[in-house]
């Protein structure tokens, strides 16, 4: 072989490495931007790297992804970086990109073909905004029912969610800061829902206020942060957790501002509806809530029925476990057990719809978000600031601590319960899109 031929071969290999590194970096950045966990990003990109015949390493940061590839002889290494694409939580995109990794691995697709398919996936249109708007409003109204709200409260929550989420859509389309968007949307929804309390509409106006902003709860970032921590992606875990905390704080500020602006007098405590909800009704509204909130994340329509059934089963399990006749389990362990069941069902059924398990268990978990405990925590905090007498302050501080800790441990139990099956059945979970 002549020197010229050797140079041409070396140049060709170098070009292949550069193109491969660039493609994998863009792929990983888009996968990160649509809400995939760090471990899924690692597995998907490494799977394609092996199919392309290169050695591979990846470094995932909150704002960008760095990919290193080198040939088998380790004669040359290429590093490519790509900024994380902030496209919002999009399970359809997550599932499509995951399926692409398996197509490349199983069908031995070359880089050119994989790049073409990647571009088609990237340019695909998301779920229609009006569909998302209606389904989200129905979901929040279902939350209201699950928390003990009457039918009039459900109507108030539906209208307030419809208006608030539409405002959120408009502001995000105008490229407004997401934190400001959350604050304004929660303020608008809370102000509208507070009207039910002010004008004594329905029997449970407080529950309408407490559930009117639940569509803004950043549940996916919270859960992803725990998943990243389990797999030792501590920087991404911390970043995602802080993002979720900041958004939750903006939500809380907007809620308080909306209520105070309309002159709502805060109650000492909220009264739970003591009427037992039938198990079928509980599961039914949990299913609607799951479908509605899943639409926010652009979940594939083929997954709607599956995640709805999983959500209904999980919420019904928690409801039954907390009944006095069944041992009267505390809501924290009951939520953990129900979340574990949701995680197991999601892993088992994910392969049937060719979607990652997260596509099912993220939306299915949302109906169990302890929104009323969070609302009571905020209420108690404001009451502490308002009452200066030691006895009254101590009472409200107790409510603050109890509701805050209960809310935190419910979420922690849900996250651990749902992610454990993915960890235990790792092989089954990460081959679902194959």
pLDDT tens per residue across span 82-120: 888 777 788 888 888 989 989 888 888 888 888 889 888
For 172, residues 6+ apart whose C-beta sits below 8 A from its C-beta are: 88, 178, 181
DSSP result, 23-74:
HHHHHHHHHHHTT--HHHHHHHHHHHHHHHT-EEEEEE-SSEEEEEEE-TT-
φ and ψ of 67, to 5 deg: -120, 135
CB 363 within 8 A of CB 287: no
DSSP structural state of residue 83: E
pLDDT at position 272: 38
pLDDT at position 270: 37
pLDDT at position 263: 55
Q: Can you read off the two tokens belonging to residue 238? A: 């911390």
pLDDT at position 275: 37
CB 317 within 8 A of CB 337: yes
Ranges of the chain whose pLDDT falls below 70: 1-15, 73-75, 196-200, 202, 260-278, 325-327, 432
Tokens 């690692």, residue? 42
Q: In what order do the strands lie in the sheet with 77-83?
A: 55-60, 64-70, 77-83
User: Is the Cα dihedral 372, 378, 381, 387 positive or negative?
Assistant: negative
Specify the 3-state DSSP secondary structure of 87: coil
Beta strands 64-70 and 77-83, pairing class? antiparallel
Q: What is the Cα 264 distance to its own chain's centre?
A: 31
Nearest to 289 by CA among 136, 92, 127, 132: 136
DSSP structural state of residue 264: P
Nearest to 364 by CA among 419, 312, 295, 424: 312
Q: How many CB atoms are closer than 10 A to CB 401?
A: 12
Specify the 3-state DSSP secondary structure of 251: helix
Q: Can you read off the two tokens belonging to residue 329? A: 């389990």
> Measured between alpha carbons, how far is 184 from 342 in angstroms, rounded to an integer?
33
Tokens 């362990």, residue? 333
φ and ψ of 278, to 5 deg: -60, 140
Specify the 3-state DSSP secondary structure of 82: strand
DSSP result, 342-393:
HHHHHHHHHHHHTS-HHHHHHHHHGGG--HHHHHHHHHHHHHHHH--SHHHH
DSSP structural state of residue 300: -
Give the CA distances from residue 23 to residues 17, 28, 71, 110, 387, in Å, rounded to whole numbers and listed in that order.
10, 9, 16, 12, 59
φ and ψ of 226, to 5 deg: -70, -40
Give the CA distances from residue 284 to residues 105, 140, 235, in Å, rounded to whole numbers and listed in that order.
40, 13, 39
Which runs of E-coded beta strand occur in 75-227? 77-83
CB 142 within 8 A of CB 288: yes
CA atoms within 13 A on the CB side of 29: 19
> Measured between alpha carbons, how far is 185 from 169 in angstroms, rounded to an integer?
9
For 211, residues 6+ apart whose C-beta sits below 8 A from its C-beta are: 140, 143, 144, 147, 149, 157, 371, 372, 375
Three-state secondary structure string covering 3-18: HHHHHHHHHHHHHHHH
> Measured between alpha carbons, how far is 158 from 139 in angstroms, rounded to an integer?
8
């Amino acid at each position: 072989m002549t020197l010229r031929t050797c140079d041409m071969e070396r140049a060709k290999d170098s070009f292949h490495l550069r193109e491969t590194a660039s493609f994998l970096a863009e792929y990983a950045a888009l996968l990160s931007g649509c809400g995939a966990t760090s471990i899924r990003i690692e597995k998907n990109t490494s799977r394609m790297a092996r199919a392309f015949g290169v050695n591979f390493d990846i470094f995932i940061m909150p704002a960008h992804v760095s990919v290193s590839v080198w040939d088998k002889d380790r004669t040359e290494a290429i590093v490519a970086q790509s900024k994380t694409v902030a496209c919002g939580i999009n399970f359809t995109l997550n599932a499509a990109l995951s399926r692409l990794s398996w197509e490349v691995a199983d069908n031995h697709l070359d880089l050119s073909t994989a790049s073409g398919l990647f571009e088609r996936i990237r340019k695909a249109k998301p779920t229609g905004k009006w569909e998302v708007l209606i389904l989200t409003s129905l979901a929040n109204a279902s939350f209201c029912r699950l928390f003990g709200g009457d039918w009039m409260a459900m109507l108030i929550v539906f209208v307030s969610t419809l208006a608030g989420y539409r405002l959120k859509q408009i502001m995000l389309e105008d490229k407004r800061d997401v934190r400001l968007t959350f604050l304004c949307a929660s303020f608008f929804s809370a102000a509208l829902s507070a009207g039910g309390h002010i004008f004594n509409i329905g029997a449970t106006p407080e529950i309408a206020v407490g559930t009117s902003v639940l569509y803004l709860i950043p549940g996916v970032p919270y859960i992803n942060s725990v998943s990243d921590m389990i797999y030792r992606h501590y920087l991404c875990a911390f970043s995602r957790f802080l993002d979720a905390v900041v958004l939750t704080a903006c939500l809380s500020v907007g809620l308080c501002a909306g209520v105070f602006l309309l002159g709502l007098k805060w109650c000492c405590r909220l009264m739970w509806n003591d009427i037992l909800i039938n198990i079928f009704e509980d599961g039914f509204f949990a299913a609607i809530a799951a479908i509605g909130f899943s639409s926010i994340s652009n979940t594939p329509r083929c997954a709607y029925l599956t995640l709805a059934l999983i959500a209904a089963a999980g919420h019904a399990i928690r409801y039954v476990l907390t009944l006095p006749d069944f041992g009267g389990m505390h809501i924290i362990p009951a939520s953990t057990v129900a979340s574990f069941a949701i995680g197991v069902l999601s892993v088992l059924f994910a392969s049937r719809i060719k979607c990652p398990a997260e596509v099912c268990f993220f939306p299915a978990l949302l109906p169990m978000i302890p929104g009323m405990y969070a609302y009571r925590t905020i209420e108690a905090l404001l009451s502490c600031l308002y009452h200066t007498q030691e006895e009254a302050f101590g009472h409200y501080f107790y409510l603050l601590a109890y509701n805050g800790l209960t809310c935190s441990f419910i979420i922690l139990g849900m996250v651990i319960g749902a992610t454990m099956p993915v960890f235990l059945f790792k092989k089954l979970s990460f081959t679902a899109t194959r």
